[in-house]
């Protein structure tokens, strides 16, 4: 199995996860409602941290839940964990091995909080300290750069949100994710050719906002891991507050700008970058106005709702990072200096 095959495998994994875990996630939602949860306290690292960023927006926008991202060093090195009364304590980890993430859920359990692990390893240390274990069922992921474990983590979060909302429309939209993914992955050959113009770049910025703030971070992480490009992610709003000053003509900018509530804000920034600065734009979108500004437009289906766009929008980004790695002559399966399972304290 290769990184490319794991990218292509994602629609099937998402379809199977939705079918197998819907009843379970309903049980989790019922427990959350019975415990009168007031907020979510979430711990994660790396790619899983980006799934947490998605949860931050989604659970707030769709379910009215405040989400706080944990600072695990308070639990490990400083030994000063915060008070977690009335929290749902969530750990997201592909391997479930990292001691700092485990320590957060251990403390949550010690404080009598409801705990939930979202992991690909249901027999892991993280799972052992959790009241509920959401097995994302991504299968063995051999490539060091996470792809299918990321989208299945996103799907787990989206399913939890749908179960909490009890909105049948949300489940109908979730049932279409696999098909939207398959359609989006058909761009692979186009992306393989398009990345050739970027094989010598050594830096970029990646922009996103709202639900796709997470996508910007994950796209940037894949570029760092695989291509060794200095890729800095920003909210388009934060980018306007200073970092835009480093833009010059031809500077490469990657952006995720699907239709939705933050689209006009993103479009305004993209117009500024293209028309005022003549930046080089790679844009993932399902809106013609945004795509028309790009030197390299990457499309997602027009009917993808904004709340699910991170599950679809990350696929062109993964393919972009994969094909650019190949174009640069680097190893897509074993990036230098990192391992598949990273255990931090």
322 membership: H or E segment, kind and range:
helix 309-328
Which of residues 175, 206, 230 is at a domain's end? Answer: 175
Which structure tokens are listed for 238? 């934060």
Same domain, 230 and 155: no
DSSP state of 206: E
Size (the chain), residues: 345
Identify whether 227 is part of a domain: yes
Residues 75 and 206 occupy one common structural domain = no
Instruction: Give me the pLDDT at residue 36, please.
Output: 87
Q: Are residues 163 and 209 in the same domain?
A: no
What is the per-residue pLDDT for 262?
A: 97
pLDDT of residue 1: 72
Cβ atoms of residues 47 and 218 within 8 Å: yes
Same domain assignment for residues 151 and 286: no
Instruction: Name the strands in the sheet holding 280-285, side by side, starting at the edge strand that comes first in the sequence.
Output: 230-235, 203-208, 252-256, 280-285, 296-299
- Whether 150 contacts 45, CB under 8 Å: no
- 160 plus 252 within the same structural domain: no
For 127-146, the pLDDT digits (tens) are 999 999 999 999 999 999 99
Nearest to 175 by CA among 287, 52, 17: 17
* In a shared domain, residues 214 and 155: no
Which residue(s) pair with 270 in the sheet?
none
Q: Which helix (H) or strand (E) holds 311?
A: helix 309-328
DSSP state of 205: E
Token pair for residue 113?
A: 């909080």
Asked whether the beta carbons of 70 and 104 are under 8 A apart, the reply is yes
Out of 131, 146, 175, a domain closes at 175
| pLDDT at position 345 over 60 | no
* pLDDT range class, residue 341, cuts 50, 70, 90: low
Q: What angle do CA 252, 256, 258 make, to 5 degrees?
A: 145
* Position 87 pLDDT exceeds 60: yes
Task: Please give the pLDDT value at position 344.
Answer: 65
* 340 found inside a domain: no
The verdict on 249 and 164 lying in the same domain is no
What number of CA atoms fall less than 13 Å from residue 340's CA on the CB side? 14
What pLDDT, on a 0 to 100 scale, did the predictor assign at position 336? 85
CB 3 within 8 A of CB 10: no
Question: Position of tokens 């979430």?
Answer: 42
State both tokens at 68.
């706080």
Residues 70 and 105 in one domain: yes
Q: Is the pLDDT of residue 306 over 70?
A: yes
CATH number at residue 205: 3.40.50.10490
Q: How many domains does the chain have?
A: 2
In a domain, 72, yes or no: yes
pLDDT, tens only, 325-334: 999 999 999 8
User: What pLDDT was estimated at residue 337?
Assistant: 73
Q: Could you tell me where the beta strands, DSSP code E, fall in 221-266?
A: 230-235, 252-256
Handedness of CA 286, 232, 2, 125 (dihedral sign): negative
pLDDT recorded at residue 343: 60
Over residues 14-40, the pLDDT tens digits come to: 999 999 999 999 999 999 999 989 999
Rounded to 5 degrees, what angle do the CA atoms 258, 261, 262 make? Answer: 65
**Are 150 and 14 within one domain?**
yes
pLDDT, tens only, 208-251:
999 999 999 999 999 999 999 999 999 999 999 999 999 999 99
pLDDT averaged over every residue in the chain: 96
Residues 157 and 18 reside in one and the same domain? yes
Q: pLDDT tens for residues 147-167? A: 999 999 999 999 999 999 999
Distances (CA, A) of 267 to 41, 46, 212: 33, 28, 14
Q: Apex CA 324: angle with CA 318 and CA 325, to 5°?
A: 90
pLDDT (average), residues 197-213: 97
If asked whether residues 122 and 206 sit together in one domain, one would say: no
Structure tokens at 130: 């959790």
Question: Would you say the C-alpha torsion 339, 340, 343, 344 has a positive or negative sign?
Answer: positive
Percentage with pLDDT > 90 across the chain: 96
Residues 263 and 122 in one domain: no
168 is in which domain, residue-wise?
3-175
């Amino acid at each position: 199995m290769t990184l490319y095959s794991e990218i292509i495998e994602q629609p099937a994994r998402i379809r199977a996860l939705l079918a197998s875990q819907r009843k379970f996630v309903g049980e989790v939602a019922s427990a959350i409602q019975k415990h009168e949860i007031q907020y979510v306290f979430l711990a994660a690292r790396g790619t899983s941290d980006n799934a947490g960023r998605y949860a931050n927006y989604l659970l707030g926008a769709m379910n009215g839940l405040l989400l706080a991202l944990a600072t695990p060093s308070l639990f490990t090195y400083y030994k000063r964990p915060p008070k977690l009364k009335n929290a749902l304590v969530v750990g997201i980890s592909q391997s479930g091995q990292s001691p700092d993430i485990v320590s957060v859920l251990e403390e949550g359990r010690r404080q009598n909080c409801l705990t939930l692990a979202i992991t690909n390893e249901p027999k892991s240390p993280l799972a052992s300290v959790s009241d509920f274990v959401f097995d994302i069922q991504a299968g063995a992921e051999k490539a060091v750069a996470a792809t299918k474990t990321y989208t299945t983590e996103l799907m787990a979060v989206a399913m939890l949100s749908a179960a909490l909302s009890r909105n049948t429309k949300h489940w109908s939209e979730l049932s279409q994710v696999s098909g939207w993914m398959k359609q989006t992955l058909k761009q692979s050959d186009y992306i393989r050719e398009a990345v050739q113009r970027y094989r010598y770049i050594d830096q970029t910025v990646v922009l996103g906002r709202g639900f796709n703030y997470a996508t910007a971070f994950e796209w940037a992480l894949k570029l760092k891991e695989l291509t060794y490009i200095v890729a800095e992610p920003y909210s388009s709003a934060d980018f306007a507050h200073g970092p835009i000053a480093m833009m010059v003509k031809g500077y490469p900018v990657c952006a995720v700008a699907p239709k939705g509530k933050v689209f006009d804000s993103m479009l305004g920034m993209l117009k500024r970058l293209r028309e005022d600065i003549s930046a080089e734009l790679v844009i993932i979108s399902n809106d013609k106005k945004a795509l028309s500004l790009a030197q390299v437009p990457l499309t997602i289906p027009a009917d993808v709702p904004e709340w699910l766009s991170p599950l679809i929008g990350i696929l062109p980004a993964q393919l972009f990072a994969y094909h650019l790695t190949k174009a640069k002559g680097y190893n897509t399966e074993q990036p230098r200096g990192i391992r598949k399972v990273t255990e931090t304290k």
